[in-house]
Structures are given as C-alpha cells and as structure tokens.
Structure 1
Amino acid sequence: MSNPLNASNDQSSKSLPSLKPNNLLVYVMAIACGMAVANLYYAQPLLHTLANVFGTSIGTTGLIITMTQFGYVLGLVLIVPLGDLLERRRLITIVTAGTAIGLAGAAMSSSIGIFLFSCLAIGLTAVAAQILVPFAAVLAEEGQRGAVIGRVMSGLLLGILLARTVSGLIADAYGWQAVFWFATFSMLVQTAVLWKMLPQSRGEMRLSYPALIGSILHLLRDEPLLRRRIVYGTLGFASFSVFWTSLAFLLARPPYNYSDSVIGLFGLLGAAGALSASFAGKLHDKGHTRIGTGLLLSLIIISFTVMGLFSNHIFAVMIGVILLDIGQQGSHILNQSVIYTLNPAARSRITTAYMTSFFFGGVVGSASAGYMFEIAGWIGVSLLGGSFGAIAFLYWLTEFKE
C-alpha cells in the first residue's frame, strides 16, 4: 500500500522553472508574501484609535488581533493543504481576491462586531503567503532551497514590519478606514500580477480532501523534527505577539503619548529581523542550524529583559524591538528550512502543521497581552513575553541529549 503522505504524482513539475535566489520570480513571490501577510498587522498600531472609535476596552480591542490570527489558523488548516491537491496558481489568486473582500468589509465596519468578523475573513484568506512559501521550495534548485526560502521570507517579514508603519502614516493622514481601502486595492493588483507571473503547478494527489487533512496528523506522528520545530515556532511567535499587541498601548500613554504614525514607525526597527532572514537561510545551508537556533531564541529573552527593566527609556524599547525581531524571525526561518527538507511530497501539509501551531501561539500571545497590560502593566507584559522565550530556549537545550 502506498504511503498517503507521499501520494503525489506532480506531472507538471517537469516543466516548472528552477529557481535561484536572484531570479525575478523569487522577488515577485517575496513581494506577494509580504503584501498578503501585511493584512494581518495593519490594525496593530491603530488599536488605541480603534478602541476610541468603537468605544471598547483595551482587552476587548486586543481581540482584533486575536480574531485575525484565529482566522489565519483556520485558513492554515482548511486552505493551505489544498496546495498539495489543487492547481496552485488558481488557488493562490482566488484566496488573494478573497482577502480584498475581507479588507473592504473592515473599511466599511460600523461596529466592533462587524470589524471583528471582517478580521476573521482577512485572516482566513491571508494564508496565500503560506501557499507561496512551500511553492517556492518546490521550485528552488537543490542546494539553494534555504537561500530561496530566506529570500521569499525576507519579503514576507518586511511586509509584516512595514505594514505597521504604512498603517500608522495613512491613518494619521486620511483616517483609519483609508488603511483598509489601501489594502483592498493592493490585493486586487496583486491578484492580477500573480495570475500573470506564477507558473501553473498541480500536484495530482491520490487523496480525498478529508484524507488530505487527516494525513497532517500522520506527519505529526512520524516526523519528530517537525514536532520540535513546532515547539520553537509556537513559543517564539507567542512572545512576538505579546509584544506587538501591547506596544501601541505603551507608546500611546505617558511618558510617550505618541500618535498612530509614530507608533507605526517602530515597525521599521524590526527590519533588522527581516534582513536576518537571508542570513538564517544561509546558516541552514551551511549546517549551523542547531547552534543558530539557540542563539536566536536567547535574543528573545534578552529583548524582553531590556524592555521590561527600562521601559521609560525609548532607546531601550528600540533596542528590544530589534533584538526581538532578529531572534523571532531568524529562528522562524531556521524552523522552516528544516521542515521543508522532511517530505517533498507534503510541503503544503507540513506548512499547515507548523504554521497552524505557530499562529496558535500568536492567538494565545495576543489574547493574553491586552488583559495582562490591564492587570500588570508593561512589567507583566515583559514577564509574559520573556517566559514564552525562556521555555523555548530550555527546550532547545534538550537537543543535546538526543
């Protein structure tokens, strides 16, 4: 009997382009990933403003991020595995068009309930980025897969970081609704570009859709490296979400009293994390994945220590942002570089297993951050975020016993 995890007969792969890191298509996919995933983060620097607009508490407003990430988790489970089953170009462009519809709904929201539902739809469809990343891995030349993934992920991470800056600037100039209309137009343009540029690729699976989803559990059972990397990713992104969900509340209050645009500019500091993505990919290609993972996870702990102790000093907060983004994004790249070597026939399902857990960590982090800020202030937030990083680092130490 054939192994359902390897049940693929991708006839189209024989005519697919073979990507090197500097190919034009790699840059197109990188930009597309960044634009898709940016939709998850446009609301983050606006949380203080949205709380005033909808008349909600800090804790309730923090659920905007939670609902978006929950939608993303659903998309990872229900949509991303279809990358191993359906024609990928068509799937990606349909999902991207769906994101535009969700964004338009957010722009027209008149209540927090409608806005939260729109955020759920945005998250559900923003998973186009997670179909593109394993697609890039399929197209990459052997021996350069880590570098190609690093290049594509650099675009994705820059999208996450620049989203906050762009959102803050547009909101201050034209209002919060303009942010979501801008994003709607961007997704419509992206849909057209991807339809034109992406090659057709269909993995002819011999599995039904229910069996396809069920096979993810087989992957979790059979791949110990996948399970380990899921732990690193889940805890790291929980830390990351704790910080970015809470930052707007810290900076909108004394001693800072910053506007949405200034708060959004802090996303630029995280560019160091995005730029580290290619470096992390090269670390993997050179065989330094284990030690690199430990060093990057330790930066998460250091970042929250610095920001917790010196939260009234803006330069300490800035240094913390840089260290957190380098640590989280770099370790995330190493995680993905490892898991995409496990089973070439199941890369979309591997993505689902990893990224579902990854964003579940984000849901936990963002859901707890707003309430932690209300209860214990920034010190409580720092302890919460640093604890997630510390648990990941302690688990990394167990690698040396294997």
Structure 2
Amino acid sequence: MQRYYPKLAILCSLVSSHGMAAAMDQSGQSLLPFLEAGHYFEASISAADPEVSGRTLGTRPDLVNSGVDDYSTDNIRQNFQYYSAALKLQLKPELSFGILYDQPFGSDLHYPLKDNGSFSDPALSKQGTQINVDTQNLSLVLGYQAFKNFNLYAGPAFQNIKGDVSLRGLVYADLNGYNAMFKEDAAIGWLAGFAYQLPDIALKAALTYHSKIDHNINVSENILGTPLLLLDETETKISTPQSVNLDFQTSVTVSTLLYSNIRWVNWKDFVIRPTQFGALSERTTTTMSGGTYTGGFNLDDYQKDQWSASVGVAKKWTQQWSSAFDLSWDSGTGDPASIFNPTKGYWGIGLAIQYSPEPDYFISGGAKYFWLGDVTAQDGTYNLPLPGISEASKVGEFNDNHAIGYGLKIGYHF
C-alpha cells in the first residue's frame, strides 16, 4: 500500500506551482522534496504565458493626448521561466541533509510603446515602462528526527538578487525617463520548520518558515541617461519578504491522495525606495502639497500581505501512470495595485500527469490555467496623507486577464 504514496506526493507539488502569485512571488518556496523518504533528487522547470492588459483611466485629463483614441496598454507581461532543484540525503535514520535551489521572487513586465503615452514615452526615449527582477536561493537544510514520525529542520538560505526599472509615460509626470539599475547583491537568511508523518497512511503535515533577507544594494540612477545626484550615494536596503508554508496530505484510498497548501507572504512590509528616487519624490510631493507634505513616496510597495491556498487530489492508475488535479486561490496584495503588478490575485485550476518507467524514477508534466483578478492600478502616491490623493493616484483599469502555466519535473530515489 505505502509504495503508491511517495510519487503521488511529488506529483502534487508540481501541479501546485505558484507561478502567477501576487506581487513578485514565484516559486512558492516548497520544502516538500526534503521530506521525501531516503535519498532523493529532483529538478524542474516552470514557465508561464500571461496575458495582462488594461487601459488608462479616462477620468485623468493629464493622461490624455489629443488626437489619440486608443488608450489600451496591450499585453504588459512577458513569458518567463524559472527553475528549481533539490537533493536530499538520509545520512542516518535520525539525521537528514538537503540542498535546495529555487528562484523565489521575480518579475518581467514591459509596457509596449503606445501613441497614447500613458505608460510609455513615444516622443523621447521611445520606450515603455519596464521592470525586471531576478532572485536565486540556495538553502542548506539539516533535519533531525528526535522522535518517531517527527522531523525538525532548519538551515541557512543564501540569496542573490538583481534587477532594473525604467519609468516611462505621463503617469509618472516629472519622473518620466527615470532609470534604476540594481547591482547584483548576495545576502543570507534562514529557514526552519517541523513535520509530522505517518507513512502507512501517507499522512504528512509540515510547517515551514522562511525569514526575510536584507540586501544593501548599490543602485545606479539616472533620468534619460543623465545621472541623478541629488544626494550623496548610499546603498538601498531591500528586504525580500518572510513567508510561512503549511503543507498537508493524507490518503483517501490505497491509490488516492488528498493534499493542500496554505501560504502567507509578508508583502505589506516590502518597500523599494532608491536614494535618488526618494529625494526626487520628496521634491515632487513638496511641490504637489505646497510644502505641507515633504515625505515623498516609494518606487514600489504593497498594501496587504499575500495569502494563497490550494487543494487537490492525486490518483495512481497503474504502476506507471498517475495524475493530479487541484484548485487554487491567491488573495493578491490589495486594490488598487501597483503599476508593477496590476492584478488582484487569481483563481486557478491545474492538471498533472506522471510516468514512472521504474519504481525509483519518474517524469511528470502539468499545466495550470489562472483567472487573474480585476484591479485598478495606482501610481505610487495612493497612501500619501494628502486630500484627494487616493483617487488622483488611480491611473488604469486591468480587467479580464488570464495566464497559463506549465511545468516539467524529473525525480530519482536512490
């Protein structure tokens, strides 16, 4: 009976991908490969094909160009891929060690060049607003099975981050033409958790905490190529968010597994505010408010923390073939949302199929469809303590969007 369950659990983790989650959440930071029995290795690739488009709010006369009727953005999200791999070794019956690689956070967004000039600059730079963020994590995990069926685990997480941002269009007013290049930086965080397992009925419950990771990054800032030097150069602090994953699975029949995942990510405390951008934004708000507010605003931030959940069922049909199906939900990070991620969470449905030529190795593939939530986009000044600013900061509507995600995984027990 037990032989059916491990590979079903692996299949569940493939179809539960977080590829289109809120803000810049990407991989889902799963630690489930570390909880596999014995020695285990896996590698996977995930990809997404999103369609995210909107239109400028017609209620903003400052965003309207005379003689232009088309105020749509066209598709602003690029196709993207990310990778993960894991190696777990059972050193002793009570001691396990794992190396996990993933790309937990990322973004690839590009507003096309449009004559309306709302989110692009057809006159000077002939470019659209862009954001590109890439992170890579390498986690070393040590597990200790002090009691039967219990596993305590913890370890350091080494994270690398880099990115660039270009602001273009009438929505940015005086900040149109701003560029920032975030130079590559490495920093260390940690993770910890515990799991309870009853192998005979494939019951597994795991709670994992990932700490925030603080980066101090050198940022090169300019306006259309002219360096911004309003203040002395200082490093910009960016903290990738802390998160918690709760995973649960149990058998329903000898060949059927029920599984679920709940994830929380602390995006509400996430802020990007480069030195020169902050100084320029302070000048802007001072002028806007007639001197009553001089605090400026952030390049990017989020109103709410992200919650996501999935529930699914996996079925083993023969010794070689299995399948899994799940439903998932993501809360998003608030409405209105950042121009850098103008969606409000999603509802998703996924299907995966797995083939095991031999008992100790497999290949699995899956696809997932995402209905992305409708949202109003705001320009970053939404939370400023100025009368009427929350309405004035709204710049676009993004409705009826979707995405398709794909995944491929290979695994080997040895």
Point out the structure with the larger helix share: 1
User: Looking at both structures, which has the greater relative contact order when contacts are Cα pairs under 8 Å and sequence separation is at least 6?
Assistant: 1
> Structure 2-normalised TM-score?
0.25
Point out the structure with the larger strand share: 2
